[in-house]
Structure 1
């Protein structure tokens, strides 16, 4: 992990009622002492305002789950990075569920990452392969292509300011996770890919693992040389389990 500060991000996806989101955020904020690790919570859009109120003055940052490529205009249903910047510090872009369900291309994900940076947000840009790609021995080349699109969009200066989350699609919400060695192989390849054209950015870039990460396996992922944190799904919906994961990163 070198000198990179660990990052644990909770992606709440389309879960929780408002009171549950507020209660969960409060419990996490109360349990996190803000030492040695960055923590961000990404609730659904409607709960950003109430959760922001709970997190104000705490070391826990707020993030969104997606953003538009556009700043403003006739884009019904979209939310611009500039709007999110009023509340958030981070935004997830290119999550595999959006790539799958909303047909988001590598190019679009790169554009979203660049728009987020321009608005003062830190994008958590997701990459990852499906099971058939892995079984064909093409996982690394597939992910490198996704990384190249993001790096091209944000430019040489922007690469060091983003976060990349490697999430093997076959391990998301399935209870099946990539082994720490499997994840480290791909994450190391991501870092090498970025370092090949920008050694400084490659060394500074924070890369997370996401895919059925939980309190039981967190420490093993975080013990690897190149994984700098975790993008946590289901295990972020309970304060105790999420705080255990955070503790593993300290």
Structure 2
């Protein structure tokens, strides 16, 4: 069985000082993270805060750093870009194709594929993000949409440690969340599609490919999502900005058998 995983995505929040303070608070004994045994914890602060947060997290095993994005070229005249090779000095994980990168920065499926490849080449675990739009959801095309994203984003990526993150884009900012049975149906489909690419042993429990749900995850619903048979963990946005809430989510996931 895969180890569970909780990813705290701080997005464009917290300066360096605030990021360090949040990480330090999270590690306080009152939150009991030293009792978490079967769940990996990934924090993704801003690029600027990565190195300082890493120093804090070095105090405890099982907490990893991730980057919120990565560029697919190894080096060159790409002003403002950060390569996977550069990130590998600090990070163990990196997002590729987050819905907000696709929405606001124009990341295409081809670009996401190249980012995944760059991560695997640099020894970083890619957090490969997928999710259907409102139009696809309303038209009943969720599975076709996700299949296309998976097959194009991973088209010749060799079997490797990977997180596949599903976030229903149609629910973002609407106050709507999918029912747990809807999430389970989608996550089962995701793992079946991955099995078609990599074989069942590489995608459904004996391998390093973990399927994670994201979308309005909070302390009240984290356990329900993590307990679904085809869900290996959760990614947390707004709630992860509060150490107390993030710790509660981590414990809720860790208690799931």
Aligned to 1:5: 3
Query: Structure 1: how far apart are the matches of 2:168 and 2:18?
Result: 29
TM-score (norm: length of structure 2): 0.92
Q: How does 1:107-186 map to 2 (within 5 A)?
A: 107-155=110-158, 157-158=159-160, 161-186=161-186
Going from structure 1 to structure 2, the CA distance change for 1:180 and 1:201 (only over 3 Å counts) comes to same
More divergent stretch after superposition (109-118 vs 166-175): 166-175
8 A Cα contact 1:111 1:153, kept in partner: no
Query: Structure 1: how far apart are the matches of 2:134 and 2:194?
Result: 24
Number of residues paired by the alignment? Answer: 245
Deviations 1:182-204 (A, max 9, x none): 11111110100111242221223
Query: Structure 1: how far apart are the matches of 2:124 and 2:227?
Result: 28
Deviations 1:34-85 (A, max 9, x none): 4110000000111112111111232211111000101111111100011111
8 A Cα contact 1:174 1:212, kept in partner: no
Q: How does 1:234-245 map to 2 (within 5 A)?
A: 234-245=238-249
In the TM superposition, what is the alpha-carbon distance from 1:148 to its structure 2 partner?
Answer: 0.8
Aligned to 2:191: 191
In the TM superposition, what is the alpha-carbon distance from 1:217 to its structure 2 partner?
Answer: 0.7
8 A Cα contact 1:173 1:234, kept in partner: no
Superposed CA RMSD in Å reads 1.3
Aligned to 1:206: 210
Q: Which runs of 5+ in 1 are unaligned?
A: none
8 A Cα contact 1:63 1:88, kept in partner: yes
Query: Structure 2: how far apart are the matches of 1:66 and 1:57?
Result: 25
Query: Does residue 26 of structure 1 match 2:24?
Result: yes
In the TM superposition, what is the alpha-carbon distance from 1:176 to its structure 2 partner?
Answer: 2.6
User: In structure 1, the residue corresponding to 2:157 is in which secondary structure?
Assistant: helix
Query: Structure 2: how far apart are the matches of 1:96 and 1:153?
Result: 22
TM-score (norm: length of structure 1): 0.94
In the TM superposition, what is the alpha-carbon distance from 1:174 to its structure 2 partner?
Answer: 4.0
Aligned to 2:102: 99
Q: Which runs of 4+ in 1 moved over 4 A?
A: none
Deviations 1:82-124 (A, max 9, x none): 1111111100110000001111111111110111011011011
User: In structure 1, the residue corresponding to 2:203 is in which secondary structure?
Assistant: helix
Query: Structure 2: how far apart are the matches of 1:175 and 1:43?
Result: 25
Aligned to 1:35: 37
Query: Structure 2: how far apart are the matches of 1:77 and 1:48?
Result: 16
